[in-house]
Amino acid sequence: MKEPFLSVYGHVTIDQIVLVGKFPDINETVDIMSKKTTLGGTGTNIAIAAARLGVPTALCAFVGRDFPAAYFEEMEDSGLITDEVVVADGYETSQCTVINDPGLRQKVIFYQGPQGFASRIGRDLLGNASKSRMVHFCTGEPDYYLHILEFLKGKGPVLAVDPAQETYRLWDRERLERLVALSDSLFCNSFEAKVIAERLGVGDVTDLDKELVVRTDGPEGSVARIGGRLTRIPVVRGGEPVDATGCGDTYRAGFYAGLYRGYSVEESLVLAASVASFTIEKVGALTNTPTWEQVEERAKDYMR
């Protein structure tokens, strides 16, 4: 089996993505205009997209007994290393229902599944991460991830943390302080950045003394602190936006794909924006993964 360049910890989720004419009020029913069920989850999205972009990638995650065999096949067909995708008894697989309105605003209902209670399962998924150059932690149980980070710290891999939408609910000040202290890099969006900055008592996440901090700002692009230097990463323009689900995840996958191919950190972030520009063109995070040649072609006019 090939050794991973990247290992990803995060949810494996069954996504249901629906479009409504407007969000319902309390006790109001509205019709669904379109509906799509796909394989998703932050861990899955980042890992599969990276694997499809040619990065040797392992996914370290738990699923339930109900996880569809077709989705296991989809993972393997992408080239993903799946020996640490573990079926956990007593849980159904994580599920996410994403409700979009015509303006691409979202409301989300989420079921954690086993990844949200990983400490109870009693299995440390360390085989692939210990051999990887890069390890990325996104959504999942904070205490389990802190435990894994403590084991990996100083043992070789570059450790990136990305608490994502769970920043608000699961990562209190004490856990966030430990998370940042154990990491080499931090990823977040502008909404999560405000929460992290407030809880850690800094003006902005880019004030954190990390080798790399990336804050994505949606249609305004992203900002990165790279070795103490701030730089603005532009939006890479593509086709008409249809669905923003998973754009942040595939952005991260594109970043690792750039590093794997020898690009600089700043160049890799531009390539990340290029990958995300394809994702937003279709419904679902993994339904429009480009080839690497397409990524480079779309990004070339934005590279310095």
Q: Is residue 6 part of a domain?
A: no
List, for residues 3-33, the tens digit of each pLDDT value. Answer: 999 999 999 999 898 999 999 999 999 999 9
Res. 169: pLDDT tops 80? yes
pLDDT digits (tens, 9 = 90+) for 62-105: 999 999 999 999 999 999 999 999 999 999 999 989 899 998 78
Report yes or no on 3 lying in a domain: no
Give the domain extent around 48. 11-22+32-302
Amino acid identity for residue 5 in this structure: F
- 206 in any annotated domain: yes
Q: How far apart are CA 275 and CA 302, in angstroms?
A: 13
Higher pLDDT, 77 or 288: 77
The candidate with the shortest Cα–Cα distance to 100, out of 230, 237, 241, is: 241
5 part of a folded domain:
no
At residue 300 the predicted structure's pLDDT band, cuts being 50, 70 and 90, is very high
- pLDDT(287) > 80: no
Q: Flag whether 45 is in a domain.
A: yes
pLDDT value at 124 more than 80 = yes
Number of structural domains the chain divides into: 1
Instruction: Report the predicted TM-score, pTM, of the whole model to 2 decimal places.
Output: 0.91
The domain that contains 69 carries what CATH number? 3.40.1190.20
Tens of pLDDT along 176-231? 999 999 999 999 999 999 999 999 999 999 999 999 999 999 889 999 999 999 99
Residue 96 zone, left/alpha/beta (φ > 0; ψ -120 to 50; rest): beta
Task: Please give the share of the chain, as a percent, with pLDDT higher than 70.
Answer: 99
Please indicate, yes or no, if residue 264 is contained in any of the structural domains.
yes
Q: Where does the pLDDT of residue 36 fall: very low under 50, low under 70, confident under 90, or very high at 90 and above?
A: confident
Is 70 exceeded by the pLDDT of residue 170? yes
Per-residue confidence (pLDDT) for residue 1, from 0 to 100: 64
Tens digit of pLDDT for each residue in 231-285?
A: 999 989 887 777 677 789 999 999 999 999 999 999 999 999 999 999 888 877 6
Q: In this structure, are strands 13-20 and 158-161 parallel, antiparallel, or unpaired?
A: unpaired
- DSSP for the chain reads -PPPSEEEE---EEEEEEEESSPPPTT----EEEEEEEEE-HHHHHHHHHHHTT--EEEEEEE-TT--HHHHHHHHHTT-B-TTEEE-TT-PPEEEEEEE-TT--EEEEEE-GGGGGHHHHT----TTGGG-SEEEE-SS-HHHHHHHHHHHTTSS-EEEE--GGGHHHH--HHHHHHHHHH-SEEEEEHHHHHHHHHHHT-S-GGGS--SEEEEE-GGG-EEEEETTEEEEEPPPP-S-----TTHHHHHHHHHHHHHHTT--HHHHHHHHHHHHHHHTTSSSTTSSPPPHHHHHHHHGGG--
For residue 103, the model assigns a pLDDT of 86
Mean pLDDT, rounded, of the chain:
94
Per-residue pLDDT band for 114 (boundaries 50, 70, 90) equals very high
Q: Is residue 218 part of a domain?
A: yes
Which pLDDT belongs to residue 283?
A: 73
Residue 4 is assigned to a structural domain of this protein? no
